[in-house]
Structure 1
């Protein structure tokens, strides 16, 4: 798995509002040359793939935890 870094975002993403009612996280992938929120923004397909894989693995883990909790009842 790729390395991770916990980050705090100061941008007003939707997650900021959702976090008031439910646990929330965001997956950040690097922008080429650090440029984001501008016309020159871009992300390599390799980094997009890594972010997508992380999302998939996270959803799978969460689903397995729910199934396990239901089976324990």
Structure 2
């Protein structure tokens, strides 16, 4: 019931379960990338990072090589 509410124990349990399932399916990740603009509290910056950074820098330019799987 509380799983959709971010920050609750149930929410993080579901997220952890999803990550564990991906590791079981695809193997251990070779890179973790965390971006945070919380200190700026800007919805515009967060939207840019979510959409454009990943699509342009990571996927199109291939700076990390071929991306086979990712979790957002």
Q: Same fold (TM over 0.5)?
A: no
TM-score normalised according to structure 2 size: 0.35
Q: TM-score, normalised by structure 1?
A: 0.35
Larger radius of gyration: 1
Of the two structures, which has the highest relative contact order with CA contacts closer than 8 Å and spacing of 6 or more?
Answer: 1
